[in-house]
Structure formats: structure tokens, C-alpha cells
Structure 1
Amino acid sequence: MKKKIIEFKDFSFQYRVQAEPTVKNINLTIYEGEKVLIVGPSGSGKSTLSHCINGLAPFFYDGFVTGQLSINGNDATKMNIFEISKIVGTVLQDPDSQFIGLTVGEDIAFKLENYCVSQDEMIDKVNKSAELVDIKKELYTSPYKLSGGQKQRVTLAGVTVDDVKILLFDEPLASLDPATGESAIELIDKMQKQNNKTAIIIEHRLEDVLHCDVDRVIVMDKGEIIADTTIDEIIRKDILRKVGIREPLYLTALRYANCEINNTLNLKNIETLELGEYKEKIKAWYENIEAYESDENKNPILELDNVNFSYNKEKQILKNVSFKINKGDMAAIVGRNGAGKSTISKLVCGFYKPTSGRILFDGNDMVDDTIKERSEKIGFVMQNPNQMISKTMVYDEVAFGLKIRGLSDSQIKERVYETLKICGLYGYRNWPISALSFGQKKRVTIASILVLNPEMIILDEPTAGQDFKHYTEIMEFLVDLNKKGVTILMVTHDMHLMLEYTNKVIVLSEGEKIADNIPAYVLTNKEIIEKANLKETSLHQLALKCNIEDTTKFVNRFIDYDRRVR
């Protein structure tokens, strides 16, 4: 009989600053050696549940507990956070909030130092953990100088460095490129199986998590567990879409082709999918989709002309990068972690200056433009919301830019409320930002830029930490802005976003541009995918399963059809 490692009984947790419990009526048992995926819309209580497991609630997030929670057979209410940390190792969705050491090596070693491990043993364990997550070459680098994906690997190494029983991952893929995300899921799977660990994964990127099998999927909504079963059953009952979670694209294609979603298909991922008689049905649907030709504007608004950039002589970040973003484009920059994507956005906004080359906006060289002058034309939403937030309350943060620009109180209120409604934040307008989840903070920062109506908006990972409902609301709002003439440029690891919303993709690898094309071409080109650490879309694999030779055309027609029916 399997040992119970985590057990909730009639459990509820209410933050001190809130009037009602965030998680309530939780009855859940997780067994030793299980791998469990927890999904749900933003604000459903997923992160709060994880905070209760790792002790952050109530030791860091003050609040009130009712009911029972036992961890490894011990009453969690009678344990301190240090005792819990010996059992539960956590990777948070915001890596910056987890760093302690001045270097990567020191950060990985922090837990071992607390356990008074000898230096020789510590060095050996740190090296092994760093090698496991491919971060060993950065051991003497400050973690704050790493890319988002590299930071996530450091926190992964910190989890593997000691012998905890439970591995808790709160959106581990949020900052990772697709191929690295796939490797991270394989790594989690390997750690869980080889060492009989209990792994709990909280993640919005469902299709990526399902790259490796999970034992159970727990679906949360409005603070309660509404489903606890296999992924096949959850897909068949259409629970994901009902609570606003994005389902894998290959499933959406099956629905569009009027295929019955049943347990004969083996639905858990695209590799196991058994189509049988549905192959011809999907092929017929694809062939009957009317092709759509868009009018492309060839008038450039942003142009990079042979741009080079380096922090020092030893490490060149960008190498002769040239591309054009046209007025009205909805474009994306993609590539592996550390390829230079975020650096480009910082160069455009004036945070850095190119080592050589030119950056032009609307035909004019911006070399002498200040950051303030550029901000009048270009809005920038950073990857980490904590680096942008300067006010205590949600309303004040979104209104801040308008106040600086001298708008009246009535104008500010009207524009702030309109933007908050679109971003799904109107109900939080009088909340302190500290009470929000990471995903909600992200929406606050996006709202604070969108409210200013710039000519061009650059968004660094705009959908990280967002459920499908809020992802769609934000992206459709950006589409509306785009239709009004605002140019959108997104730095992203989200291949779904790239496929569904962009008309142009710039692909970077090792600081060089390797592609400038439509998204369907990029995600069906094996050479580009391998060089840039991307991942083939499941639509490409679905087309191959149906013996459709022109997979790019299949993906393009799916996108066109999906846009029309949404």
C-alpha cells in the first residue's frame, strides 16, 4: 500500500487581508512517488495550495488555517518552515524571489551550508546538480545577470542538491524556451522516477507538461478542487475549456474537424494519439478550409541595421542583427534562452546603446533619443513584473503614467477602469499589489503600459503565468489595439501565442538572426527549430499523422480558421 505523503482534510486558508478563504474545502491525498499536475485559471488557488504545502502560508503569507494538513505523516500546523523545507523542495514561478547567493554556485549551495555539509561534499553536490540542469559554466556568475530560463535552471539545481521527499514546481516553464522547457519536464520526470520522489507541478503550459506522463491531474476553480483524475478523462469531459484552461492545439483541431473525443484516441499527448478513421476526416476538413490572404503593410516603423552589442570584449550578445517591423505588424522575437531577445527590446527602449549599428523608429535614427523620449512612442512591459511596480495599490500603479502626463482625475479614472476591465483586474482595483499572484501582477504591469496608448508596444513574455481566459483577453485587447494602428512586438517562448496572433517572426540563435518569416514556416522547419531551441507545433505532428505533406499550409489554415471562429 502506498504511503500518504500529503493529506488535506476539510482544509481552508484565508489570507489576513482578505474577507474570504482563497482555498476552501480541500480534501486531497497525494501518495509517495506520484507525479501530480495541478491546473486552474489565475486566482483559482493553485499557488496558495502550494504555499500551504511548502509552509510559505502561513509563515510568510499571514493568514488563518482551518482543517488538517499532514506532510510525511506529520501535522503541518505543528511544524516550522525549516522542518517543512527538509521535506519539500520548491521551485517558485518567480526565480528572482528565490536567490540568496552572490553567485550561482553559492546559491545552489545555500541549503547545504545550513545543514553544515563539509566543503568537499558541498562542492561535489553543487557540481553534480549544476551539471544536471546544464548551468555548470555559470557557477561563478551572479544569478541576476542570467536570462529568465537560466535563472529557472539555477532554482532547479537548488532543489536537486539535497534529499527532499517532495518536489514542488510552481510554473517551472514560465521563463523557459520550448526545447529547454521540454528538457525541464524530462528532468523532473527523471528525478521523480529514479529517486521515487513525489512531484507536484503547477503549470499553465499544459501541452508542454504532458510531454511526460503524469499520474493525476487536479483541476482547481474558485478555490476548490473540481476534478481529480487522469488527463484522458479530463480531456474527454471537456473540463479544461469549461474552467478557462487552454487545451493542446491538436485537440482543438480534432474538435474543428468534428472528431468525437473519446478514450479510443489515447489523448494524453500527440505522440500517443491514435487517429484511426479520423485521419481522412481531418484531411477533408483541412482541404475545405478557405485560404485567407492578408494585406501586408510594407512601411517600416522599427528597423535594426547591423546592430552589434556586447557587455564586454569577451562576450558578444548580438552579432550584425538586421530586421524590419512594419507599421501594424503583430510580430514576435523567439529563440533559445540567452539568444539576445530581451537585449533587443532594451536596446530599442534605450536602456542600452548598441556597440555598433543603427536603430531607427519611423525612419529616424534614435541614437540621441533619451529613454523618456522613446517612452512617448514605445511602451515596454518587462518580463518580471516586480521590476516595474512602484506603487502599493493596483489603481495607483495603472494610473501612474497618466498622472505624470497631466491628465485630469476624471480622464484618468475612465481610462484606468476601461483598461482594468479588459485585463481582468477591475475587481482588484482597490487591492494592494502585494496580495496578488505573480500572474495578476503581470497583468497590472501590462495594464499600466496599455493605458498610455503608445505607437508601439514591446512585451517581454506577455502571457507568462496567465490562464487561457486572461491570456485571450490580453491578446485580444492587443489585437484590437493592433487593428487601430498600434504595432505590437513580443518577446516570447509561447509557441501558441506566436502561432495564433503574430504575422511575422524573428528567430535568434547565439546572438544572430537565423530566420524572418511567418510563424507556420518557423515551427515546421526542423533546422530552425533545432538551432533556436524551439519545438515543433503539435499541429505539424498531427498533419504528419494524417499523411498531409505540406505541414506549413496545414498549420496556416488551422490558424486562419481558428482566428475566424474565435
Structure 2
Amino acid sequence: MNRAVIEFTNFSFQYRAQTEPTLQDINLTIYEGEKVLIVGPSGSGKSTLAHAINGLIPATYPGEISGTLRVMGQDQQELGIAGLSERVGTVLQDPDGQFVGLTVGEDIAFKLENDAVSQSEMTGKVTEAAHAVDIYDFLGASPQELSGGQKQKTTLAGVLVGEVDILLFDEPLASLDPYTGTKTIELIDRVQQQTGKTVIIIEHRLEDVLHRAVDRIIVINEGRIAADLPAAELLSSGLLQEAGIREPLYLTVLKYAGCPITPDIKPEHIETIVLEDAAGKLRDWYLANDEQPEYLDCPPVLELRDLSFGYEKNHPVLHGVSLKLGKGEMVSIAGKNGAGKSTVSKLICGFYRPSSGSILMNGRDIGSDSIKERASRIGFVMQNPNHMISKTMIFDEVALGLKVRGMAESDIEKRVHEVLQVCGLYPFRNWPVSALSYGQKKRVTIASILVLQPEIIILDEPTAGQDYRHYNEMMEFLLGLSKQGITVIMITHDMHLMLEYAQRTIVLADGRKIADDRPERVLSDKAIIHSANLKETSLYRLAERAEIDQSSEFVRRFIAFDREARQG
């Protein structure tokens, strides 16, 4: 057996601001050359575990430690954050937070410059790392100008150049489109295969990570290790559901069809799973569930007419985009990173003015309305929660908009508490925001907009960093808002969110609208999928492998059945 590179022994950690430990009695060993996936609900301790491994605990996040943690055979606290940085390279879920150089080449070279490596040696190492992650052609570009996938490559190259032994990825897929996410998992796998480094991936998107094999999956729940098993064994157990983690969708529909899930059928991937005994049951299940959907005619509330825009003159980002959104409709906007999705939302909110075209709300041109005037009717939740938060305490952050509007304190407390309950944040209402995970901060920003009760709410990647339980709670709450007449616009890379909650999906590619249809039809069109960096869900592939002709209808029936089953 390979040597142990990470050894937790009876390890516990309690943040200074908390009354209970976040990690409790962790016993875990990770061996040299392993590729390990760590999953768990938001707030379960996954990020805290990562911060212990890379030294941010206790260097940046002080608290009480008991037990021991050894990295590469040495005590974590004796190594300190400087010593750990020589052994552990971390790639964060938000690449922008790691950039320090003005160009990609400078950013990759940062570690070498700190180590006073000679110019000739530095150039060779930067070139080698850039080729390893396929970013060499962009060495002279600004990191901020890159796509999401290119940013991830740059941060990975910056880690590789330091020749660390352990690569730690903290939710690397959180902000990536489906195609780029797939390529990122392939890149991580290739780097691990070529270098033999130990790889640890912390990620909510279990099915996406399993696009490439992992040695083990570790489930963290309520600060403890709930499971540590090979993927086939874990997927065949009920441990994921017990921890509130979404299993791969193709396994869910197989269970609905009465098919047993065992390690023998190789359930880790849609392409490897054995379906000889399941195909007939799937077809029977499909034929037995043919309830037709109800399509509602929603009166228009927002209309974009021939909208064009560019951040720089003669460099348009949007080209003549037109669309209509109905009152109480839930609509998703999809497309590759850089397609113009976020730009559309910024134009609707008034952050920028279109170079041509118009925006109408309830039939009135709002082109002359200020940002403040629009904000009273249109709420916008940004993709990165750190770009929205301005208060120290959670309650104060959610209450800020109401206070600015002069609402009475008693009314503010009542409404804030109601929204915090729905968003799963009520137990943390008196916590500092800094003590929250990325996913929990995301819910705080959503709560701060929902509390204002807008007529339209735009959410940029609402489920990024969310576990399955909070994903469901949040989306059901948004669905409830739509039934009350609030229009919900979701900018998302989440294919299942699109299928389950959107009545329509609008697809942008290269600044143009290329599709506006039911999501199940959009995601069965291979030309649209290719143009917009989307991805067929595993449900489509399952239908194809089971020889069910109507793949999009199979998916629609699964979504309807699954919703009813979950609601009892």
C-alpha cells in the first residue's frame, strides 16, 4: 500500500465564534496517489476539513483543535501555513479570488518568484505547467478576460508549478457551464494520471465528478464521517439519501422502475451501468406514466426588443436579443460562460444601458428609469455572494434593504425571520456572515432580495454551492413565489434545475438567442447543446440505452413523477 499523506486522528475543530465543534472526532487516512471525492450537505464541515488540510485552520480561521492531523508525515500545526503550501496546492471554487498577476504567465509564475527561482528556470517551469493544463496560448492574456474554464486552468497551473504533492479542489465546478465542467473533470483526471499526485475533490455535483473514476467517496455529515466507500458500494447503499445528497439521476429513475442497484451492475457511470435486466422495466415504467403537463398562458410582464450591447465600442456582446417573460413564469437562461447571460440581467436591472433596442415592463419602456427605480420592482441576486454582502451579521444583511426603505423594526424582524426560515438560515440568524460556507452565504444574498418582495427576481446561478436539501427548499420557495405572480428568471448551468423548475429555457450563444422552448426539448437538440456548451443529462442517455424513442418525453415524465414522489 502507498504511504499515508494525510492522517486525521480523533481530530475535532471548533471555530472561535461557535459553541459546538464543526468537525467532530475525524479519523481519516488518504494515501499517496489516491483520487478522493468528499461530499456532504452545506455546513457539514467539508470546507472546514479542506481548511485544516491546507493550513487556513488555524492560520486564518482560529479556533480550538483537538486530536492530530499529519500531512506528509508531519504535524499540521508544526508545519504552519507556509510549510503546508509547499505540500498542498489548493484550487478554490472562485478562481478570481486567487489571481495575483496581471497576465496568465505572471499568475502562474507567482510561487516561483517568491522562491527566487532564476528567470530561465522559471520560464521553463511556467511553460511546462501551462502546456500540462492547455493554457499556453493565453500566457499573455489578463486572467480576468478568460472564460470560467480557462480561469480554472490558470489556477491549476499556478498550483502545479510549485510541484506540490497534494492537489485540493474546493468545488471546482461551482461556476462552470456543463461542457466546461466536464472538461475540468477530465483535466483533473489527466493531471492526476500523468503526475501521480494525490487529488482531493470537494464538490456538490457528485454525478459530474463521477464522469471520471475516483478511488473513494467520503461523506461528511454534521461534522462526522458518515461513509468512506468505493463509488459502486456507496451508490448501492442508502447513505447518500440519508445525508441529503442527490444521487445520480439515472439511479433514481431506475429505482422508480423497480430495478435493484448493486455494485455488480457498475452504477458509477451511465456508460458503464449494466442494463440488460433493467431496460424492460424502464420501458414499462415509461408507458405507465403518461400524464400530460398543464401549460399556462401568462400575461407579459417583461419584454426585450432587439437588444444590443457592448462593453467596448465596436465589440458587441449582445446582438438583437428579443424575448418575452410572463407574469409568474419561471424561466431559465442558459449558455456557455461568456455567452451574454449575465449581461442581459445587468441591462434589465439598469446597471448598463443598451446600445440599441428597448426594455418594457408591463408595457412601459423603462429605459429612462434609474437603478433605484428598477430595484423596487426587480431584484437581482449575483453569482458570487461576496460581491453582495456588506454587513457583518446575517440578520443585518437580510434586513438592510427593508431598513433603507424605512420599514418599522417590528415588521422588519417578522419578515426577515420568515425568509430566513424558508432559506434554511434561521438557526444562524445571529451568526457573523464570515462563519458561513460559500453555499450558506449564497442563501443569505437570496434572502436579502426575497425579503423585499420584488415583482421580478433574477438569480445568477442560484444553486451554485447548494446541497440537495437546500436546493429543493430554495427552488420550492421560488416556485411558490411564481404561483403568487412573481416572475423568476434563473441564469444557470444546472441542467436539472432547468428541467425541473423552468417552464421555458432561453439559450444564448455568442450574444444571440438560439433557442426559446420547453427545457426538455432544448436539451434534446444536439445542435443547441453543442453551440451553447450544454450537456445531455444522464436521463437522456439512459432512455437511449433502454431503446426508448422519445428521450425528451422520458425526461419530462421522470421530472413529473419525481416531483410527486418527493412531495408525497
TM category, shorter: over 0.9
Deviates more, 1:461-470 or 1:138-147: 138-147
Q: Equivalent residue of 1:558, what SS?
A: helix
Alignment partner, residue 466 of structure 2: 466
1:362-406 alpha-carbon deviations (Å, 9 max, x no partner)? 222221111001111110000000110011100000001111112
Q: 1:124-523 maps to which residues of 2 (within 5 A)?
A: 124-136=124-136, 138-146=138-146, 148-313=148-313, 315-523=315-523
Q: Aligned-pair distance for 1:496?
A: 1.3
**Does residue 55 of the first structure (1) align with residue 76 of the second (2)?**
no
Matching residue's letter, 1:262: T
Deviations 1:209-261 (A, max 9, x none): 00000000000111010110111111211111111111111111111112122
SS of residue in 1 equivalent to 2:169: strand
Match of 2:41 in 1: 41
Corresponding residue number in structure 2 for 1:71 = 71
Mapped contact 2:334–2:507 kept (Cα < 8 A): yes
What is the identity percentage for the equivalent residue pairs of Structure 1 and Structure 2?
60
From the superposition, tell whether residues 407 and 141 of structure 1 become closer, same or farther in structure 2 (CA, over 3 Å): farther
Alpha-carbon distance in 1 for matches of 2:96, 2:413 = 33
Give the match's secondary structure for 1:21: coil
- How far the C-alpha of 1:148 sits from its partner, in A, is 4.6
Q: Distance in 2 between matches of 1:137 and 1:303?
A: 40
Give 1:24's aligned amino acid.
Q
- 1:131 deviates by 4.9
The alpha carbon displacement at 1:517 in A equals 1.1
Query: CA-to-partner distance for each residue in 1:79-122, whole Å, 9 max, x for gaps?
Result: 12121111101011232332222333322221121122233443
- Tell me the distance in 1 between the aligned counterparts of 2:195 and 2:145: 32
Counterpart of 2:2, as a letter, is K
2:553 matches 1:543: no
Change (3 A) 1:133 1:509: farther
Structure 2, gaps ≥5 residues long = none
* Matched position secondary structure for 2:358: strand
Q: Which whole-Å CA distance do the structure 1 matches of 2:475 and 2:162 have between them?
A: 41
Distance 2:401 2:348 in 1: 20
Query: Are the structure 2 counterparts of residues 307 and 121 from structure 1 closer, same or farther at C-alpha, using a change threshold of 3 Å?
Result: farther
Partner SS, residue 275 of structure 2: coil
CA contact (8 A) 2:165 2:197 kept: yes
Structure 2 Cα separation of the partners of residues 262 and 271 of structure 1? 16
Alpha carbons 1:297, 1:328 under 8 Å: kept: no
* Cα contact 1:334–1:493 (8 A) shared by 2: yes
Q: C-alpha deviations, 1:487-543, integer Å up to 9, x for none? A: 110111111111111111111112221111111112221111111111111000000
State the distance in 2 between where 1:323 and 1:496 align.
23
What SS is found at the alignment partner of 1:213? coil
Deviates more, 1:272-281 or 1:168-177: 272-281
Q: Give 1:125 shift.
A: 3.6
User: Which amino acid in the other structure matches residue 435 of structure 2?
Assistant: A
Query: Is the 2:234–2:240 Cα contact (8 Å) retained in structure 1?
Result: yes
SS at match of 1:315: coil
Offset of residue 147 of structure 1: 5.1
Aligned-residue offset at 1:485: 0.7
Superposition deviation, residue 136 in structure 1: 4.8
Identify the range of structure 1 (296-305 vs 376-385) with the bigger mean alpha-carbon deviation: 296-305
Compare 13-22 and 369-378 and name the one that shifted more: 13-22
Cα distance in structure 1, aligned partners of 2:531 and 2:229:
38
* Aligned residues of 2:177 and 2:336 also touching (Cα < 8 A): yes
Which deviates the most, 358-367 or 410-419?
A: 358-367
Q: Which runs of 4+ in 1 moved over 6 A?
A: none
8 Å CA contact retained: 1:150, 1:337: no
Indicate conservation of the 8 Å contact 2:101/2:107, yes or no: yes
In the alignment, structure 1 residue 562 sits paired with structure 2 residue 562: yes
Code of the residue aligned with 1:154 in structure 2: it is T
Partners of 2:149 and 2:484 in 1: CA distance: 34
Q: Name the CA distance, whole Å, in 2 between partners of 1:58 and 1:352.
A: 42
Change (3 A) 1:283 1:212: same
Letter in 1 for 2:25: N
Q: Aligned AA for 2:525?
A: N
d(CA) in 2 for partners of 1:373 and 1:157? Answer: 45
Say whether the 8 Å CA contact 2:12–2:23 is kept in structure 1.
yes
SS of residue in 2 equivalent to 1:5:
strand
State the one-letter code of the partner of 2:494.
D
Unaligned runs of 5+ residues in structure 1 are none
- Bigger mean CA deviation after superposition, 109-118 or 309-318: 309-318
Partners of 1:472 and 1:355 lie apart in 2 by: 39
Q: CA deviation at 1:150?
A: 4.3
TM-score, scaled relative to structure 2: 0.97
Distance 1:149 1:360 in 2: 34
Q: Secondary structure at the match of 1:391?
A: coil
Say whether the 8 Å CA contact 1:167–1:197 is kept in structure 2. Answer: yes
The aligned amino acid for 2:63 is: G
Task: Give yes or no for contact 1:177–1:335 (8 Å, CA) kept in 2.
Answer: yes
Look up the SS of the partner of 1:163 in the other structure. coil
| Partners of 2:71 and 2:481 in 1: CA distance | 49
SS at match of 1:452: coil
Do the aligned partners of residues 139 and 370 (structure 1) sit closer, same or farther apart at CA in structure 2, a change above 3 Å counting?
farther
Task: State the 1:195 CA deviation.
Answer: 0.6
Whether the 8 Å contact between 1:26 and 1:224 is mirrored in structure 2 is yes
TM-score norm. by structure 1 comes to 0.97
C-alpha distance after superposition, 1:315-371 (max 9, x if no partner):
321122222222221111111111111111111111111122222222222211110
Other structure's SS at 1:80 match: helix
Structure 1 range deviating more: 95-104 or 16-25: 95-104
Deviates more, 1:509-518 or 1:536-545: 509-518
Quick check: 1:179–1:534 contact (8 Å CA) kept in 2? yes
Q: Distance in 1 between matches of 2:131 and 2:461?
A: 27
Partner of 2:527: 527
Question: Taking structure 1 as reference, are residues 64 and 248 closer, same or farther at Cα in structure 2, changes over 3 Å only?
Answer: same
- In 2, Cα distance between equivalents of 1:320 and 1:149: 27
Q: CA deviation at 1:548?
A: 0.7
Q: Aligned-pair distance for 1:139? A: 4.0
Indicate the larger mover: 515-524 or 212-221: 515-524
Query: Alpha carbon RMSD of aligned pairs, Å?
Result: 1.6
Distance in 2 (CA, whole Å) between partners of 1:356 and 1:32 is 57
